[in-house]
Each structure stands twice: as structure tokens, then as C-alpha cells.
């Protein structure tokens, strides 16, 4: 705060040394009053203007320069910067501390605004926070040259950022609260509204959801069906002919009136109220089902069932003890050097990581460490058979866990990764079977589950084409030539046609009706298109990252060439 008064009004002692001598060109030290310092502004002369600054901050001096002498603000910053770089030459300990405070990095107003917006959005803070004096003081103390935006500006900037984010194809377009029962038709209505709002109804290729019965029914009723399953709709106004009886006269002008229940017709669900695109079940959800439900087939083998129940029950007892008492968790960490991982019933991979942690402790710290913990917590001991089973279980399920991590990745993952991932997982499981002694029934159950959950997808031309158009895989995603041909044919069918200049030079017809009627009868450079496709398939993955020919335009809705996670091993 500026204080304008006559110099004669100054009262208390002036014996204290100037705390900021580097500002002597701009301010003359006057006196110290308790924890405050008073300075006379030399830029205001001949007016006698005194400014009070708290002993730990010279921000009031800077505010005065910025407000009254803006042309000298750069000089003030240079003096302060020079003083921060120069070591203290004598003086009090307070001066050294003050110089250290002034070493804070100066940032632009734009950077401060972004930081404030991040704090409000990520912390779910109220917009009015920026108008509270304490928050404004915080920003000014940290960055004296910065201003705090108003609540209106905050709202405008967040709205603008939201609009910009909606244009990003990887962003979430909508988050809607669905009130009432989450029935199949309610879900279909919301999806249809979102597609219409963002004008993507004709751009969506597939819709992936979880495998809940309400979602499945929504797409079964309102979604795009295969051609063989489409129902034949009878056009309105069609009258079926009936044979005339002997007593009926065809020339009679009278028509029989048929009464119909209008309410029943209106309530009848014909699947046309909402229009959804093709449905794709969540691959991660399907893989979770394989690991939690389909693996139960392994329990048909009595020896496997006995071993698995024994080993997993002892693991569960140990997990329960660790989760119910901090002292138990500390005891386990003390003997095992690691915390136990608590499984989450809704996600299988958390159960795998929990078992993997137990196996790792046994491998690194020895069986004795786990035995000591089991004895201390009064839980059943692991037998050698239990330990051997858990080791084989982790070995068997490790590629499944890696596959799940790949498919549920949020970046560098497209539809083209699905089939190669499942194919590679199947091959790895088949190869591991011969080296197993206790978990062969588990491998058989996994293979049967993969076949049941993903068999229909493995022959879908669209998914095969998506895999071929990922440079990492191309045609190596499968060794089945029939499957590859399905994908290659799909790609060729969807390549853009090039018919410019192909019409015969003696063509004389100029009828627009003829041009429109025969527009689908086009000649294409089939040889050139095949040559481009062969060039793509023959090139290395690195050589096609920037490929921009017709193939990439076909691939755009399905996949994009991206770097692959290091954990994936291609076929």
C-alpha cells in the first residue's frame, strides 16, 4: 500500500541497515518500524511518497513501480535479478535469506493462468475461488508481476478448453447422467442423441461397450444387423390378396372395415425408433470372462481342482490377515521385504498380480520367510505342492495378463491389435502346455474359453483388415491363408477408385441421367492399386509409418500406424 506523507512525520529509529541496497537507485531507505521497512520513492520526487514493505518481501515496492512508474519496471527487475546472482557482501543474515527468496523463477501471465485453471479443474474447486483475498494474495506473493483472472474469465477459459478438447478424436465427447432405470431403450436413446449432437452418426464404425445385458439388447434391437438376420419389412399400404369365396362378388363396392388396436401398434417395438451402428463387445471384458468363468472347466480334473483350492485358499487367508490389521501388514513386510498385493474381485488381473507377488516373495526370500509369516499370523502353511502349483499358475497366466494389459491400453492401441493379440496368446498357451506338469487342465480351459469368446471375431474381414494395416503385423498376424485373403479382399474393396480420364475418347453421351445411373460402373486402375498394396506389405514397419497412399485412407476409420508396446511379442 502506498503511503504519502511528509518526511518529517517519520518517527522511530533509522539505525537499521537497508535490507535491499540493490534498489537504492529507485528507493531511499528511511526507517524500520517493527517488522516493516519504509522507503522513499526517488522516482516520485519532488513528491515525498513513502512505501511500507514487510521485512520478508519487497513486493510492495514492485507494485508501486508497476502502478506509478511502469516504464521503470524492467529496471527494477534487472536490479533484483542482478542482486540474486551476486553473493551477499556482509550485512545481516536476513539479507542473505531475502536474496534467496528473490531467486524464484519469473513466469508469464499465460503460465499462471494455466496453473490456476489446472488447480480449479483437477481439484474440483469453485470458480469463485479466484475472488477470495487469500487466493489472490497467494498468487501475488508467488508471482508479484502476475494478476489473478476473474470468475467470468475462468468460466470462459474452461468453456473454451472444453470445446477445443471435444475436437480431439481421442477425447471423451460426452458424460451423461442417465436417470431412472438403465434399460436397453434408454441407453439407445442417449447414444443416438450423442451421435446426433456431435454429428458423427455416419462416422462411427463400431461401438464398443461392456457386456451388460442392457447394452447387448440395445444393439440387438436397434443396432446394425448382419444381412442374413435382417427382417423383411412390409411396405405400408400393402394389402394381401385373399381368395374370393363363392358367395362373394368381386364387383361389390363395399369394403369390410377392420378394427385395430392403435395403442398396441404404437407401443410395438419395431427396432426403428433409434439407429445404432454395429456393436463390438469389449475384448478386455471377454478376456476377463475367460480368466474367471471359463477357467472353471479346469476343475473337472480332480487333481487340479484339489491343488488349486488348497493353494488359493491359503493365499486368501494370508491376504485377509494383511488387510485387516496394519500390524500384520508390517510383520509381512518385515519378513518378506515386500507388501502383499490385495486382489480386486472385479478385475482378474489384480488377482493374478496378488498371486504373482506371493510367488516372487517365495522366489526372492525363500520359503522360510513365508512359513514364518504363516506361523506368526496363524494361517495354514504352504505345502511344496502348493508352491509348485502357484509357480506354474503364474507361468501359465502371465501371457494372458500381458494380453489384457495391451488390449486395455489407452494410447497406441487400435482395433488392429485385437486379432494378433488373441492369436499370439493362443500360440503361447499351446507352446507352454508341454512344459507344464500341474496346470495342463488350466491351459485347456483357457484355449477353450478363447475359442468360445473370440472365434466369431477371428473371421471378420473388417478386423482382419485392421490388423493387416498395422505395420507391425501386416500378414504375420495369422498363418491361415484363407483368413488373410478375407482381410486383403476387404482392403481392396474399400480402396478409393481412380476413374478420372478412363472414359473412352469417343464417348458422346452428355446425359446427366445416364452418368448418374451408371456411376457405380467404374473402371479402376486395378493393377496400380494392387501394386501399391503389394508395396505396403513388402515394406518394413519403419518404412510405412508415414505412408499416405490409398491404403492409409482406407485404414483411417479402423487403425493408425503407431509404435507398439514393448511387452508385445508378434507372431
pLDDT tens digits, 73-101: 888 888 887 766 554 444 444 444 444 44
Q: What is the DSSP letter of 16?
A: S
Can you tell me the mean pLDDT for 203-220?
87
For 57, 142, 198, the CA distances from 100, given in Å and listed in that order, are: 11, 13, 53
Residue 438 has pLDDT above 90, yes or no: yes
Q: How far apart are CA 49 and CA 69, in angstroms?
A: 13
> What pLDDT does 398 receive?
94
Tell the burial category of 359 from Cβ atoms under 10 Å away from its Cβ (0-12, 13-18, 19+): middle
Residue 248 has pLDDT above 90, yes or no: no
Q: What is the DSSP letter of 59?
A: H
> Higher confidence at residue 140 or residue 479?
140
> What pLDDT does 450 receive?
95
Can you tell me the mean pLDDT for 381-410?
92
Other C-beta atoms closer than 10 Å to the C-beta of 203 total 11
Residue 552 has pLDDT above 80, yes or no: no
Handedness of CA 313, 318, 321, 323 (dihedral sign): negative
Per DSSP, the residues of 235-295 read: PTT-----PPPTT--TT----------HHHHHH---S-SS---EEEE-HHHHHHHHHHTGG
Using pLDDT thresholds of 50, 70 and 90, give the confidence band for residue 558.
Answer: very low
Using pLDDT thresholds of 50, 70 and 90, give the confidence band for residue 447.
Answer: very high
Torsion angles phi and psi, residue 218, rounded to 5 = -60, -40
Residue 557 has pLDDT above 50, yes or no: no
pLDDT digits 0-9 by tens, 495-505: 765 444 434 44
Q: How far apart are CA 97 and CA 99, in angstroms?
A: 5
Can you tell me the mean pLDDT for 149-165?
87
Residue 4 has pLDDT above 60, yes or no: no
Q: Cis omega before residue 522 (within 30°)? A: no
Helices 440-454 & 283-292 angle (0-180, nearest 10): 150
Q: How far apart are CA 394 and CA 392, in angstroms?
A: 5
Give the containing element (helix H, strand E) for 50: strand 49-54
Other C-beta atoms closer than 10 Å to the C-beta of 295 total 23
Q: Which residues of 64-99 are buried (b: 16+ CB within 10 A; e: fewer)?
A: bbeeebeeeeeebeebbeebeeeeeeeeeeebeebb
End-to-end Cα, the chain, rounded Å: 73
Q: How far apart are CA 414 and CA 157, in angstroms?
A: 32
Q: How far apart are CA 12 and CA 29, in angstroms?
A: 13
Q: How far apart are CA 39 and CA 19, in angstroms?
A: 11
Residue 509 has pLDDT above 70, yes or no: no
**Long-range residue pairs from 405-410, CB within 8 A, at least 24 positions apart, any chain:** 405/349, 405/565, 405/567, 406/565, 406/567, 406/568, 407/283, 407/284, 407/287, 408/284, 409/565
How many alpha carbons fall within 13 Å on the CB side of residue 221? 20
Q: If we measure between CA atoms, which residue out of 288, 565, 292, 294 comes closest to residue 404? A: 288
Residue 188 has pLDDT above 60, yes or no: yes
> Higher confidence at residue 297 or residue 276?
297
> What pLDDT does 88 receive?
44
Q: Which three cell numbers stand for residue 511?
A: 446425359
Q: How far apart are CA 554 and CA 492, in angstroms?
A: 9
Mean of pLDDT over the chain: 76
Q: How far apart are CA 337 and CA 369, in angstroms?
A: 9
Q: How far apart are CA 536 and CA 530, in angstroms?
A: 10
Residue 301 has pLDDT above 90, yes or no: yes
Residue 437 has pLDDT above 80, yes or no: yes
Torsion angles phi and psi, residue 511, rounded to 5 = -70, 125
What radius of gyration do the chain's Cα atoms show? 37
> What pLDDT does 257 receive?
52
The highest-confidence range among 259-268, 337-346, 416-425, by mean pLDDT, is 416-425
Q: Residue 49: beta bridge partners?
A: 4
Q: Which three cell numbers stand for residue 473?
A: 503385423
> Higher confidence at residue 555 or residue 192?
192
Handedness of CA 295, 301, 307, 313 (dihedral sign): positive
> Higher confidence at residue 485 or residue 85?
485
Q: How far apart are CA 503 and CA 522, in angstroms?
A: 9
Q: Which three cell numbers stand for residue 362?
A: 517365495
Other C-beta atoms closer than 10 Å to the C-beta of 223 total 21
Residue 142 has pLDDT above 60, yes or no: yes
> What pLDDT does 413 receive?
74
Amino acid at each position: 500500500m502506498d503511503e504519502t506523507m511528509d518526511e518529517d512525520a517519520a518517527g522511530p529509529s533509522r539505525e537499521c541497515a537497508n535490507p535491499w541496497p540493490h534498489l537504492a537507485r529507485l528507493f531511499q531507505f528511511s526507517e524500520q518500524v517493527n517488522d516493516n521497512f519504509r522507503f522513499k520513492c526517488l522516482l516520485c520526487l519532488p513528491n515525498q511518497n513513502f512505501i511500507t514493505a514487510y521485512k520478508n518481501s519487497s513486493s510492495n515496492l514492485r507494485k508501486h513501480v508497476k502502478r506509478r512508474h511502469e516504464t521503470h519496471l524492467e529496471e527494477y527487475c534487472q536490479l533484483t535479478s542482478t542482486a540474486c546472482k551476486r553473493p551477499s557482501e556482509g550485512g545481516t543474515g536476513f539479507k542473505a535469506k531475502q536474496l534467496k527468496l528473490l531467486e524464484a523463477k519469473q513466469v508469464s501471465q499465460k503460465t499462471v493462468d494455466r496453473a490456476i485453471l489446472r488447480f480449479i479443474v483437477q481439484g474440483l474447486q469453485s470458480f469463485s475461488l479466484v475472488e477470495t483475498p487469500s487466493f489472490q494474495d497467494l498468487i501475488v506473493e508467488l508471482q508479484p508481476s502476475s494478476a489473478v483472472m476473474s470468475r467470468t474469465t475462468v468460466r470462459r477459459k474452461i468453456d473454451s478448453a472444453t470445446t477445443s478438447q471435444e475436437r480431439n478424436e481421442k477425447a471423451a465427447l460426452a458424460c451423461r447422467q442417465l436417470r431412472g432405470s438403465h434399460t436397453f431403450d434408454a441407453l439407445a436413446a442417449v447414444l443416438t442423441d450423442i451421435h446426433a449432437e456431435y454429428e458423427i452418426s455416419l462416422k462411427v464404425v463400431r461401438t464398443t461397450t461392456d457386456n451388460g445385458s442392457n447394452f447387448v439388447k440395445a444393439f440387438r434391437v436397434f443396432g446394425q444387423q448382419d444381412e442374413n438376420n435382417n427382417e423383411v419389412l412390409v411396405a405400408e399400404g400393402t394389402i394381401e390378396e385373399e381368395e374370393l369365396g363363392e358367395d362373394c362378388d368381386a364387383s361389390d363396392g363395399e369394403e369390410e372395415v377392420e378394427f385395430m388396436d392403435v395403442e398396441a401398434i404404437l407401443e410395438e417395438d419395431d427396432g426403428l425408433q433409434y439407429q445404432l451402428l454395429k456393436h463390438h463387445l469389449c475384448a478386455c471384458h471377454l478376456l476377463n470372462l475367460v480368466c474367471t468363468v471359463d477357467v472353471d472347466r479346469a476343475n473337472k480334473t480332480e487333481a487340479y481342482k484339489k491343488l488349486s483350492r488348497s493353494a488359493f485358499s491359503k493365499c486368501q487367508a494370508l491376504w485377509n490377515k494383511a488387510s485387516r490389521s496394519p500390524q500384520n501388514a508390517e510383520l509381512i513386510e518385515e519378513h518378506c521385504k515386500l507388501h502383499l498385493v490385495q486382489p480386486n474381485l472385479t478385475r482378474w488381473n489384480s488377482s493374478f498380480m496378488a498371486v504373482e507377488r506371493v510367488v516372487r516373495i517365495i522366489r526372492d526370500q525363500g520359503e522360510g520367510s513365508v512359513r514364518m509369516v504363516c506361523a506368526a499370523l496363524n494361517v495354514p502353511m504352504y505345502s511344496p505342492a502348493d508352491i509348485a502349483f502357484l509357480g506354474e499358475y503364474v507361468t501359465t497366466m502371465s501371457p494372458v495378463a500381458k494380453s489384457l494389459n495391451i488390449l486395455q491400453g489407452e494410447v497406441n492401441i487400435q482395433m488392429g491389435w485385437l486379432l494378433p493379440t488373441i492369436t499370439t496368446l493362443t500360440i503361447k498357451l499351446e507352446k507352454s502346455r508341454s512344459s507344464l506338469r500341474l496346470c495342463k487342465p488350466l491351459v485347456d480351459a483357457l484355449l477353450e474359453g478363447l475359442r468360445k469368446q473370440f472365434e466369431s471375431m477371428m473371421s471378420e474381414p473388417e478386423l482382419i483388415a485392421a490388423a493387416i494395416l498395422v505395420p507391425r503385423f501386416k500378414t504375420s498376424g495369422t498363418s491361415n491363408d484363407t483368413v488373410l485373403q478375407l482381410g486383403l479382399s476387404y482392403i481392396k474393396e474399400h480402396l478409393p477408385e481412380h476413374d478420372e480420364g478412363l472414359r473412352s475418347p469417343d464417348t458422346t453421351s452428355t446425359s446427366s441421367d445416364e452418368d448418374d445411373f451408371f456411376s457405380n460402373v467404374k473402371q479402376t486402375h486395378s493393377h496400380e492399386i494392387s501394386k501399391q498394396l503389394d508395396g505396403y506389405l513388402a515394406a518394413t514397419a519403419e518404412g510405412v509409418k508415414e505412408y499416405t497412399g490409398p491404403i492409409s485412407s482406407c485404414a483411417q476409420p479402423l487403425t493408425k500406424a503407431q509404435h507398439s508396446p514393448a511387452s508385445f511379442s508378434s507372431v
